[in-house]
Structure 1
Amino acid sequence: MIPPVCTPMTPDYEVDAGSLTRLVDHLLEGGVDGLFVLGSSSEAAYLPDAQRRAVLDTVVGHVSGQVPVLAGVIDMTTPRVLEHARAAVEAGVSGLVATAPFYTRTHPAEIRTHFRVIADRAGLPLYAYDLPVSVHTKLPAALLLELAAEGVLAGVKDSSGDDGGLREVILGRSAPFSVLTGSEVTVDSALWMGADGVVPGLGNVDPHGYVRLVEAAGRGDWEAARQEQERLVRLFQMVRVGGGRMGGSSSGLGAFKAALHLRGVIAHPVTALPQIPLNDDETGRIGKHLAAAGLL
């Protein structure tokens, strides 16, 4: 269970280091196995380089080796990713997470080169982030397995929603290679197929629930895993409170931050510009979801 850590912000859109350390403590107390910073739930796409570095230094320094910290080094092209990788290595992270290149159109041969160069230059375990909804490229199972066999990739965070492709990777791996699902709502089925773990954005709000789910699957209690998963599926409905008046990022990340604010973990539910904030009515509905899940 490796949650993608949200990035709390002040009302003037700076990184709120105090709230970030409280969030890290909240996650560690929940029993997580690691932390993933500067991914989608961290709003990495919105953070300038100085704020990315502030997140790295705050989290790595506060964790102080208690669990591994993976850092997203997500950017459009290889040279830009390498700059983020250097900063992450300097900060002392345990591993790196990168998507395929985006904005420019790339061929599988170029994606292959992209991951090979990052792994070679950074010298840390590298995890591929399969995120076609944002990157507009689906990482084929054959490519992931090839790079795993070469030792280029240590694993994949699969947020593609393609359960068939996920299973193909699980069945095809011959080298040590961690398969992590990024889907909050199908964790039990992914673990049953043989996935190694989960990276759930909702895990910021309820780390204990996802830890219970993973532990139930680990001991083969699939009924307990199913029941916990179904409770989390109901809780996950909070990401839709923004309805049609805002984008999915505003609604989903706004819901996570509103929930963390209502639970007393972070000081402000601020999301980065140009995302639209939730209103009082929507925030109230978040509270009802939390209460129904036993979290308030």
Structure 2
Amino acid sequence: MLPNGTGTAIVTPFSPQGDVDHEALAQLVDWQIEEGVDFLVACGSTGEAATLSLDERLAVTATVVRSAAGRVPVLAGATDNATARAVDEAQAQAAMGVAGIMSAAPYYNKPTQAGLEAHFRAIADAIHLPLLLYNVPGRTGVDLRPETVARLAEHPRIGGIKEASGGVRRVMDLVAQTPSAFAVLCGDDDIVVPAIASGARGLISVASNALPRTIATIVRHARAGDFVTARADLLPLLPFIDLLFTEANPIPVKAALAMQGRISDTVRLPLLSATAPLRERMAPFLPMSSRLGVSA
């Protein structure tokens, strides 16, 4: 079974020289868990999986699993536009002690819906863990349609979807067309409250990297049916959430974490670190780390 609630799509910290900073990652995992998130997702879009080597991705997953130490479940990303490579990585990640595998639709080669179905079935057939589908057409260039998801939901190891196409209606269609045991997770911070009201089981969040307790509390209120409180807490954050996507994710959220003194803001080319104007606009939303010696 896939986890519900708040999952942080955790960043991959780099040293200023561009190497994976496993110490900073371990500290970030501890902080996320202490702040109340329900699960973690390693090696996704926010984790810059696209610019990590396979060995680096497996090492990142190992650090997250080891640091979580069973306190929360960990999912690992395994995405490729060649099905054979996606299968190989899913099998490798499944051996790392994770609770499930998340896999996005293949990018660039634009398969048909039948091709997408065959791709995900091949991955699910090759692993022993639950598979979380990931629909993010803004990045992949292809949309995993609800009717395709409904067919995939019949597979015993395809347990849910992270839906990040940006619309509440899509969440509603997925909930309506899939079995009750199938976990629809919102992949867009800004619509999490209406998404949960529409049947989503939780959120895989970018914003919770920087504001884990706040986001986890919003999701908890919404899942408990207290939509008035959840909405009141979310609305003031919408400008910050917008800022997280004014430059390509994870550039802004890494800058936010750097401003809190938690990681370096280093990203790998072709991404560049956040601009000064963006940092200035984000600053009012961020509780400052005690390591900086300032308060919000």
One fold, TM greater than 0.5?
A: yes
Corresponding residue of 2:254:
257
Does the 8 Å CA contact 2:202/2:223 hold for their aligned counterparts? no
Cα distance between partner residues in 2 of 1:123 and 1:291: 41
Q: 1:225-264 to 2 correspondence within 5 Å? A: 225-239=230-244, 248-249=247-248, 252-264=249-261
- TM-score of the two chains, using structure 1 as the length reference: 0.91
Corresponding residue of 2:181:
176
Q: Number of residue pairs matched?
A: 285
Does the 8 Å CA contact 2:110/2:141 hold for their aligned counterparts? no
The amino acid that maps onto 1:232 is L
How far is 1:103 from its partner?
A: 2.4
Which of 45, 49, 58 is residue 44 of structure 1 equivalent to?
49
The amino acid that maps onto 1:191 is I
The amino acid that maps onto 2:253 is F
Cα distance between partner residues in 2 of 1:280 and 1:161: 28
The amino acid that maps onto 2:257 is L
Which of 154, 160, 171 is residue 155 of structure 1 equivalent to?
160
Which of 62, 67, 70 is residue 62 of structure 1 equivalent to?
67
Cα distance between partner residues in 2 of 1:97 and 1:240: 22
Question: Unaligned regions of 5+ residues in structure 2, if any?
Answer: 1-5, 289-294
Q: Deviations over 1:116-142 (max 9, x none)?
A: 111111111001000111111111111
Cα distance between partner residues in 2 of 1:175 and 1:187: 19
1:185 is paired with a residue whose SS is helix
Cα distance between partner residues in 2 of 1:120 and 1:216: 36
Which of 137, 142, 149 is residue 137 of structure 1 equivalent to?
142
Q: Are positions 1:100 and 2:102 aligned together? A: no
Corresponding residue of 2:13:
8
Corresponding residue of 2:90:
85
Corresponding residue of 1:206:
211
Corresponding residue of 1:244:
none
Q: 1:183 to 1:284 in 2, by over 3 A?
A: same
Which of 186, 192, 195 is residue 197 of structure 2 equivalent to?
192
Q: 1:175 to 1:218 in 2, by over 3 A?
A: closer
Q: Which has the higher helix share?
A: 1
Does the 8 Å CA contact 1:181/1:198 hold for their aligned counterparts? yes
The amino acid that maps onto 2:267 is T
Q: Are positions 1:286 and 2:291 aligned together? A: no
The amino acid that maps onto 1:254 is I
Q: Percent identity?
A: 32
After superposition, the CA RMSD in angstroms is 1.8
Cα distance between partner residues in 2 of 1:215 and 1:97: 23
Q: Are positions 1:113 and 2:109 aligned together? A: no
How far is 1:291 from its partner?
A: 5.7
Q: Deviations over 1:79-103 (max 9, x none)?
A: 1101211221221111001122232
- TM-score of the two chains, using structure 2 as the length reference: 0.91
**Runs of 4 or more off by more than 6 Å in structure 1?**
none
